[in-house]
């Protein structure tokens, strides 16, 4: 179970597996990550998703997680805003909270 080829995560996975000369052939493809998590919880299928997407289900014992240590898969996130309308103080605060949560869940130092 993986996102479709139109999904950004799938592009990252396809690029990483291509380097290792592996072709992904998922049985099912769905672009909504929450739906993938629910599907895996209810079946014997597996998936590859960012830790932040599955962490709660893992913490609650509904899923088991196996970190992929190699090859290292990197996904870059960016904050985008209009050049003539900078983020508000609240927007800046939200970005700081999201960045801290990503660091916390991923184990990345501040």
Contacts of residue 31, Cβ cutoff 8 Å, sequence gap at least 6: 3, 4, 6, 7
Q: Domain containing 108: what range?
A: 77-110
Is the domain of 3 the same as that of 36?
yes
Asked whether residue 26 falls in the same domain as residue 41, the answer is yes
Examine the domain organization and report whether 53 and 101 are in the same domain: no
Q: 57 and 104 share a domain?
A: no
pLDDT given at position 97:
92
32 with 83, same domain? Answer: no
User: Long-range contacts made by residues 105-108, C-beta under 8 angstroms, separation at least 24?
Assistant: 105/51, 105/52, 105/55, 106/51, 106/52
Share of the chain above pLDDT 90, in %: 56
Other C-beta atoms lying within 10 Å of the C-beta of residue 48: 19
Q: Are residues 54 and 96 in the same domain?
A: no
Say if residue 42 is in the same domain as residue 89.
no
68 and 92 together in one domain: no
| Rounded average pLDDT over 77-102 | 88
pTM above 0.75, yes or no: no
């Amino acid at each position: 179970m993986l996102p479709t080829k139109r999904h950004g995560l799938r592009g990252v996975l396809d690029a990483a597996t291509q380097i290792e000369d592996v072709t992904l052939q998922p049985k099912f493809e769905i672009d909504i990550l929450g739906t993938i998590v629910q599907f895996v919880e209810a079946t014997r299928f597996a998936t590859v998703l960012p830790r932040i997407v599955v962490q709660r289900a893992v913490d609650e014992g509904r899923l088991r997680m196996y970190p992929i240590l190699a090859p290292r898969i990197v996904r870059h996130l960016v904050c985008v805003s209009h050049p003539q309308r900078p983020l508000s103080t609240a927007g800046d605060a939200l970005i700081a909270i999201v960045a801290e949560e990503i660091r916390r869940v991923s184990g990345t130092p501040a």
